[in-house]
């Protein structure tokens, strides 16, 4: 199995109390009403860029580098898609995350029985 390294590694955390459910899944099945997207206030830790060799990389990655289409991975190994970014400073951002196709919910203990 091949592993893929991200082009940019930006470390951040969701601020306590800074998560608002934004969108629910709408369907006639048992997943109807399940939260699908969330608006989150993040604190971002700026990171110096690096190469796997001795070449100098002067890039500094911070909240200004977060873009729609990126992925956000939690320590629990759940991965969410970034679908919106607003309120950006170097160390903070409001980011909208989506559980696309409910892949994280369906693979969790919260999944309703079929």
In this predicted model, what pLDDT tens digit does every residue of 70-110 receive, in sequence order? Answer: 988 877 778 888 999 998 899 999 999 988 777 777 766 66
Please answer whether residues 40 and 50 qualify as being in contact, where contact means their C-beta atoms are separated by less than 8 angstroms: no
* pTM for this predicted structure: 0.75
Q: What is the distance between the alpha carbons of residues 103 and 79, in angstroms, rounded to a whole number? A: 9
* C-beta neighbour count of 36 within 10 angstroms: 19
Residue extents of the structural domains in the chain:
11-106
**What does DSSP say about strands 60-61 and 71-73: parallel, antiparallel, or unpaired?**
unpaired
Beta bridge partners of 71: 81
DSSP 30-48: TTTT-EEEEEEEEEEE-EE
pLDDT in tens, 46-61: 888 776 677 777 778 8
């Amino acid at each position: 199995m091949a592993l893929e390294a991200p082009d940019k590694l930006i470390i951040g955390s969701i601020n306590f109390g800074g998560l608002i459910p934004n969108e629910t899944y709408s369907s006639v099945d048992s997943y109807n009403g399940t939260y699908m997207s969330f608006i989150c206030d993040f604190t971002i830790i700026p990171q110096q860029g690096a190469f796997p060799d001795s070449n100098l990389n002067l890039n500094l990655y911070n909240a200004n580098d977060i873009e729609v289409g990126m992925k956000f991975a939690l320590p629990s190994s759940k991965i969410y898609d970034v679908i919106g970014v607003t309120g950006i400073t170097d160390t903070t951002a409001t980011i909208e995350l989506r559980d696309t196709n409910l892949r994280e919910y369906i693979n969790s203990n919260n999944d309703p029985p079929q």
